[in-house]
């Protein structure tokens, strides 16, 4: 069975039981994951009734990170509701229930008792403090750990449509106070709290003993934006995906039905971060159901402040041609030869791939509303004979972005061929997340692409990338 992101995070945590950072990373993955909650009966409208078990560690519900794992546990078709871990935790905490993940069907099988669920719900709901400060100086960020950068990248990759872009910078405030700020540009009105909460979680689950980060919100027309773009570390947020109606449960007898996640709207009460004592519970495996409760381990508090609120969103867009993603070069795949990818020697997962081959502006072919450039006439002819064979998946958009429900640009250097298909991704960090579960992410992408394909191509610039192709 293919290893999922939760399998991997649990394996790393289990291999180093005293490493708090790995344990926190697992709980972050649990909060972000789509989980399938086993139900006692088919959902009726907005009402769902979870199946409750008591294996000796107190009453709990069962969740699985893949549909096939739920079906394997149930021995066939079974009703379930699809919810994020972030939505499930406060619901269970409210009822005093524990949680069992992938019991008996995966290496990530573990139990989290009611106290642990309570901690998870509180940690996910911890609210940052609000304040205002006037910035006197904005410079390039320095000294921030890579773990925090990666955590921010993960969170912002899931903040589809909430803002246009974000810049991480160092700041000097009145009184000589130095700090760092993540400044969101063009945040959708009303999205400020959600974005600040995402940053809060990135800090909490980064495993840092002490961390502070300001969060600012700027209108796209603000004069400070130009300065941020020059010195800041840029994060491009994915574009929003169109809303789709959920399928009625039980329509396909070969597939366990999916209930609409209406119960997620109930939410959890927020707690003051300054008063929240951060604990991260240790998990208990199914083999130790009757044992005593594990002690909770103390973790230092984090601090987070929110700078000034922003005004209305103004998107600055550039109209690039075609349904295929086309960047400022005017060519698909930034002017690189898509046929040449298939003759390159791939490196193993986790390693940097060989550089793509630049095409020639004089050797081209049109497909899917865009112009492709090729290094040789032979490559062009092969493409013309079967363009669907060589063109990148998802019209040249980031594969992981599609898995998360949106169209974002892709970097031609971040490629991989799977089953004779070319996949591209947007940043090195995103590649790492995609490679945690390539088959699972491709399955998500294929499912999302049905509704995304008809949407306009992304009009964004590839972050931190300038194409040297095509040759002229």
Q: How confident is the model at residue 310 (pLDDT cuts 50, 70, 90)?
A: very low
pLDDT confidence tier of residue 211, bands split at 50, 70 and 90:
low
The answer, yes or no, to whether residue 331 has pLDDT greater than 90, is: yes
Q: Characterise 454 by phi-psi region: left (phi > 0), alpha (psi -120 to 50), beta (else).
A: alpha
pLDDT of 175: 61
Write down the pLDDT at residue 261: 27
Sequence-ordered alpha helix ranges (H) in 366-437: 377-385, 387-390, 399-403, 428-435
Nearest residue to 201 (alpha-carbon basis) of 380, 32, 363: 32
Sign of the C-alpha dihedral, residues 225, 156, 90, 271? Answer: negative
Confidence of residue 301 (pLDDT cuts 50, 70, 90): very low
**What is the share, in percent, of the chain residues with pLDDT greater than 90?**
26
The pLDDT of residue 313 is above 80: no
For residue 250, give every residue at least 6 positions away whose Cβ sits within 8 Å of its Cβ, in sequence order, or none. 42, 79, 257
| Confidence category of residue 131, pLDDT binned at 50, 70, 90 | low
- The answer to whether 78 and 71 have CB atoms below 8 angstroms apart is yes
Q: Which residue has the higher pLDDT, 142 or 397?
A: 397
Global pTM reads 0.45
**pLDDT band for position 174 (cuts 50, 70, 90):** low
Is pLDDT above 80 for 143?
Answer: no
The torsion angles phi and psi of 282, rounded to 5 degrees, stand at: -85, 145
The SS3 assignment for 388 reads helix
- Report, as an integer, the average pLDDT of 105-117: 88
Count other Cβ atoms within 10 Å, centred on residue 43.
22
The per-residue pLDDT for 248 is: 40
- Residue of 112, 120, 119, 123 lying closest to 293 (CA atoms): 112
For 260-279, the pLDDT digits (tens) are: 222 222 222 222 222 222 33
What confidence score (pLDDT) does residue 1 get? 52
Give CA–CA dist 227/244, Å, rounded.
Answer: 39
| pLDDT tops 70 at residue 251 | no
For the segment 405-417, what is each residue's pLDDT rounded down to a tens digit?
888 899 999 999 9
**What pLDDT score does 133 carry?**
53
Three-class DSSP category at 210: coil
Read off the pLDDT band of 63 (50, 70, 90): very high
The number of residues in the chain equals 472
The model's pLDDT over 213-235, given as tens digits with 9 standing for 90+, comes to 788 888 888 888 888 888 889 99
pLDDT band of 253, cuts 50, 70, 90: very low
Whole-number Å distance between alpha carbons of 306 and 312: 18
Which stretches of 185-321 are DSSP H helices? Answer: 192-204, 224-231
Which positions ≥6 away from 13 have C-beta within 8 Å? 19, 22, 23, 25, 26, 283
Q: Is the pLDDT of residue 305 over 50?
A: no
Least confident of 24-33, 346-355, 359-368: 24-33
Please, are residues 409 and 325 in contact by the beta-carbon 8 Å criterion? yes
Mean pLDDT of the chain: 76
Q: What's the pLDDT tens digit per position in 179-196?
A: 788 889 988 888 888 888
- The model's pLDDT over 426-451, given as tens digits with 9 standing for 90+, comes to 988 889 889 988 998 998 898 888 88
């Amino acid at each position: 069975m293919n290893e999922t992101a939760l399998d991997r995070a649990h394996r790393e945590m289990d291999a180093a039981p005293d490493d708090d950072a790995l344990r926190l990373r697992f709980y972050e993955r649990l909060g972000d994951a789509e989980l399938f909650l086993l139900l006692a009966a088919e959902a009726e409208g907005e009402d769902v009734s979870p199946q409750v078990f008591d294996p000796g560690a107190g009453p709990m519900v069962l969740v699985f990170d893949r549909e096939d794992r739920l079906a394997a546990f149930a021995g066939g078709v079974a009703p379930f509701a699809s919810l994020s871990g972030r939505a499930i935790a406060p619901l269970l905490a409210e009822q005093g229930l524990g949680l069992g993940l992938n019991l008996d069907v995966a290496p990530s099988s573990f139990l989290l008792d009611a106290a642990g669920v309570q901690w998870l719900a509180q940690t996910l709901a911890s609210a940052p403090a609000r304040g205002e400060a006037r910035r006197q100086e904005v410079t390039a960020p320095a000294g921030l750990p890579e773990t925090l950068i990666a955590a921010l990248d993960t969170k912002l990759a899931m903040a589809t449509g909430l803002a246009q872009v974000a810049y991480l910078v160092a700041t000097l405030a009145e009184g000589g106070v130095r700090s760092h700020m993540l400044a969101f540009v063009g945040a959708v009105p009303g999205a400020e709290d959600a974005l600040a909460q995402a940053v809060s979680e990135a800090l909490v689950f980064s495993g840092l003993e002490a961390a502070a980060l300001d969060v600012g919100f700027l209108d796209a027309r603000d004069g400070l934006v130009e300065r941020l773009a020059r010195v800041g570390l840029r994060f491009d947020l994915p574009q929003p995906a169109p809303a789709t109606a959920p399928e009625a449960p039980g329509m396909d007898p070969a597939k366990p039905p999916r209930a609409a996640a209406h119960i997620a709207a109930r939410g959890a009460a927020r707690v003051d971060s300054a008063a929240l004592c951060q604990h991260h519970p240790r998990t208990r495996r199914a083999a130790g159901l009757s044992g005593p409760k594990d002690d909770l381990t103390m973790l230092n508090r984090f601090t987070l402040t929110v700078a000034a609120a922003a005004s209305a969103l103004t998107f600055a867009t550039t109209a690039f041609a075609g349904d295929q993603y086309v960047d400022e070069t005017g060519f698909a795949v930034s002017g690189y030869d898509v046929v040449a990818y298939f003759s390159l020697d791939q490196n193993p997962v986790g390693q940097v791939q060989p550089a793509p081959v630049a095409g020639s502006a004089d050797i081209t072919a049109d497909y899917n509303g865009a112009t492709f450039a090729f290094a040789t006439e032979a490559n062009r002819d092969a493409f013309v004979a079967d363009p669907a064979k060589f063109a990148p998946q998802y019209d040249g958009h980031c594969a992981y972005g599609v898995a998360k429900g949106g169209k974002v640009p892709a970097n031609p250097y971040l490629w991989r061929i799977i089953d004779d298909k070319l996949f591209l991704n947007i940043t090195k960090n995103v590649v790492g997340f995609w490679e945690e579960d390539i088959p699972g992410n491709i399955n998500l992408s294929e499912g999302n692409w049905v509704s995304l394909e008809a949407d306009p191509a992304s009009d964004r610039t590839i972050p931190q990338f300038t194409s040297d192709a095509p040759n002229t």
